[in-house]
Each structure stands twice: as structure tokens, then as C-alpha cells.
Structure 1
Amino acid sequence: MSYEPKIVGFLCNWCAYSAADLAGMSRISYPPTIRIVRLMCSGRIDPVIVVDTLINGADGVLIAGCFPGDCHYVEGNLNAEVRIKILKNLIAKTGLEPERLRLEWIPASGGVLFAEVVEDFTNQLLSLGPSPLAGGNPDKNIMELLAVVRDTVADVRLRELVGKKRTP
């Protein structure tokens, strides 16, 4: 039996989702490994949902939004970038490969770019192999550590700090 990665993509409505729609309408071919969830802004991604997605067996999570400076919500994508950097660092400490989490900037006109990103991420996950949390026998150590990460990113105090800038 061959392995086909399962990717969950959280896409910004204004740019990345429009690019995915353009790829489909233009009949641009890309691997059928991604399931898309539309968000109004990549800045609305909840790290708890990302961790839950990995715990539930996704091989990879793609967050895609507008290029910096093009966000319809001004700094939403920059807030997402901060959250994802922190989350990748925490995930790396669990023993799960942080490469299973990916952040990309894709413009609304980027149907070809969207297809390339999905293809590249699929190939990256193929080289990593199946998630140790997928299937009938998940790695209990990683599962327990991810539960700690989930509790950490759910803490209201951390949520207050992440994505906020200090003024001089």
C-alpha cells in the first residue's frame, strides 16, 4: 500500500483561497492530498486548532495567507507568522517534525503558485513519511507532549502576548 499524505490547509479568503479557486477553475493540476478550510484571514488561525489537526492524524498543516503588506486586515498575516513560528518551535520539542507545519504567502492571482506549494509540501511529507500520530498506533510520547503544547497555546496569557507589538 502506498502512502499518500493528508494535508489540511487553512487558507485566507482573500488571497490563498482565491488562488486555490483559480487553480481549480483554470484546471491546474495539483495533488489531491489537501483538504481546505477557508478563513477570513490567516491571522485568525487558532494554534489550538493546528495542534488538534496534528493530534488527529494529519500528516501536514498548511497555513496560507496574503503577502505581508497586502492583508485586508492590515497585520493579520504578520500575527499569523508570529504564532506559527512559536508553534513550530514548540512542536519541534515534542519530537514531531516542525516541517509538518508550513506557512506560505500566496496572492489571489497565484493559482499556479498554489499548485506548486501543494506539490512541494506533498513531496516534503512523502520524504518525512506518515505522521507518527496517524493510524491505529500513535506515538504516545509525542501525543502526550502535543497535549502539553495544546494546553500551553490555549493559555489566555500566552494568547494576549502573541502577535502584539510593543510601542517604543
Structure 2
Amino acid sequence: MSPNESFEPRIAAFFCNWCTYGGADLAGVSRLQYPPNIRAIRIPCTGRLSPSFVLQAFRQGADGVWISGCHPGDCHYIEGNLYARRRFTVLKNLLEYVGLEPGRLHFSWISSAEATKFQQTVIEVTEAVKALGPNQFLRKDIGIVA
């Protein structure tokens, strides 16, 4: 048994109030089974998510972060999700620069009617983060703790 088989990742999940959070709610009401590793954080729009919140989640020990919102063209705030997509690309590069594996940060589009897609994405994100092992960002021996 490899060390990562017993490891259960902690994943901070920032969900759009209008779409992905509704998809998570529908998955729950539909009693769809998925890993319990995510901690959902409801936000008004992914376009309003500050990159500092993502960095803070990693600094506080999250093994992964998942950002999910409305499909392009369906944003309740016109184009907030497009701003989020741009920030996501820059943030992924920043994380790699500071030494975190880019596979610890995930982004998706899930509408409130896509409970099955929500379930599948939770499974995929959890498996991807689990394969990377624990977050090493807080290791004191390499001086990354702030």
C-alpha cells in the first residue's frame, strides 16, 4: 500500500451561488454519492473570488482548491466567470512559481442542473489531489510558513 492510499485530502471548494452551489445541492437532494473531501464555500460569483483567498486556503493547509461557476455565457453577473477564468490561468502559473504543483488547483463550469457532472467532478478533483499527496506548502523545514 502506497503512502497516498490512506491519505484523505482536504479540498477548499469555492462555488458560485447561482450555478455550482445549486448543482451541489441537487446532487445532495438526489442522494448522489461522492467523496466527502470538499469543504464548500459559497461565493456570489467566481469573478469576485480574490486570488488571496486561494493562497490563504493553501497556507492554512488545504491540499487542493477547486473553483467552479457558471458556464461561459450563463453568468448572472454577465461576464464574471470570464474574469475568473483569466485569474485562474495566472494563479495556476503563480502557484507553480512558488513551488506548489499546478494539479492542486482545479477549475470547472457546472450549472445548477448538472448534479451528475458535479458528482463526477468531485471524484476527479479528489483523485487528482490525492495522487499528489499532502500539501507541502506549510513545511517549516523549507521556510515557506508565513
Same fold, TM-score > 0.5, yes or no: yes
**Structure 2 vs 1, CA of residues 109 and 77 (structure 1 numbering), >3 Å: closer, same or farther?**
same
- The answer for unaligned runs of 5 or more in structure 2 is none
Cross-structure match for 2:34: 30
1:17-166 alignment to 2 at 5 Å? 17-133=21-137, 137-138=139-140, 140-141=142-143, 143=144
TM-score by length of 1: 0.80
Q: Using the alignment, how far apart are the partners of 1:108 and 1:101 within structure 2? A: 22
Match for 2:20 among 10, 16, 24?
16
CA contact (8 A) 2:23 2:110 kept: yes
How far 1:133 moved relative to its partner? 2.9
The ranges of structure 1 where at least 4 consecutive aligned residues each deviate by more than 6 angstroms after the TM superposition are: none
CA contact (8 A) 1:132 1:139 kept: no
RMSD over equivalenced CA pairs, Å:
1.5
Looking at CA atoms only, which structure, 1 or 2, has the larger radius of gyration?
Answer: 1
Q: Using the alignment, how far apart are the partners of 1:69 and 1:138 within structure 2? A: 44
- The answer for unaligned runs of 5 or more in structure 1 is 148-168
Q: Using the alignment, how far apart are the partners of 2:102 and 2:141 within structure 1? A: 16
Deviations 1:20-70 (A, max 9, x none): 000000000000000000011111111001000001110000000000000
Instruction: Name the % identity.
Output: 48
TM-score by length of 2: 0.92
Tell me the matched-pair count: 142
